[in-house]
Amino acid sequence: MMPMTPRSAFHHHCLRRVLPVVAVGLLIACGGGTNTATDSGSGTSGATGGAGAGGDPALEKYLSDHFEYVSRIGGFYIAGVDEPSLTPDAPGPNGRVVFEQTILLFSSYVDQDDDGETDNPQFVQSLGTNLVFIVGYAPFLEPHESAIESQFNRYAMSMKTDEWPFVAGYDGKGFIVTGLRSSMWRPEPFNALWEESFHTITEAYNRGDSNWSFEKGSVLSTLMQADIDAGQYDIEEQNQLEGGNYDWQTAVNEYVHQIWAIHFSEQADVLTDPQQAVVDHMKQTSGFPMAVNTAYSEMVALKIK
């Protein structure tokens, strides 16, 4: 069970969140795919297969009542509004652009072979049982984060487009890194949507696979500790900036994301031995998304609104 950590500021794009654990079995082994669903039509809970299966009518109504755009992949809902992003201080793409890239990212994460079918429907369903992803300005999202958690027992991951950078056309590459030495590091340019969506995936694994625990003594935690002990990685600077509130579990989760981002950019040769072991851990997790197809065009998501 994950320890509870408070929501607070997104210091240097580091997530801080309370994460209630919903008691469901998360089946990680790859299974048969779902049927492809079109990106139109109403997502009814009566669907028997494909992206239309596994919806929650009450949650679907809530999101449809409050958000301009709603889609789902199986039972996992993604919702957004049309507020323009700030990048970070000037108007950028409208909310629909951010929402559509969110759909693309999650679709690619769960369909790594790009065949239009989710690779592991059980994982997708458990993702939806535990989490929702919402896009918009922080003042608009925050009441809905609380309502979704209290009313539907799901944690609302978010992309706060008035606070965190969004880069249209970002492909996760094109930056140079000489090594991962601090929790403060992010790619430059940085698209926070990639990080937030990736964290949603790792949070789902964390809830259902003991090998994805972020607790001290876990596989991933031990690797980060080894890096710290060797003087190769630092979390204290960030902890001081956050007044001593940069908790260990969040640090491990961030460490995993940073390593994934560097590996994705094809610069894994700069990683330390413990960091390389984290890459191996991800690769050894059946179905874990090591790739993103930025030109993904299959309709694995069902449009609700």
Its pTM stands at 0.84
Q: How far apart are CA 96 and CA 135, in angstroms?
A: 9
pLDDT at 18 over 50: no
Among 108-112, 124-128, 191-195, 222-226, whose mean pLDDT is lowest?
A: 124-128
pLDDT at 14 over 60: no
- Band of the pLDDT at 114, cuts 50, 70, 90? very high
* Rounded average pLDDT over 90-113: 93
How many CB atoms sit inside 10 A of residue 115's CB? Answer: 12
Enumerate the domain spans of the chain.
Answer: 32-303
Among 127-136, 205-214, 261-270, 276-285, whose mean pLDDT is lowest?
A: 205-214
Return the pLDDT at 88: 64
Token pair of 215 as six digits: 């607790």
Q: How far apart are CA 199 and CA 188, in angstroms?
A: 19
Average pLDDT, the chain: 85
pLDDT at 44 over 60: no
Cα–Cα distance list, 251 to 13, 27, 298 (Å): 12, 25, 34
Burial class (CB in 10 A: 0-12, 13-18, 19+), 293: middle
Helix (H, G, I), strand (E, B) or coil at 133: strand
Helix (H, G, I), strand (E, B) or coil at 77: strand
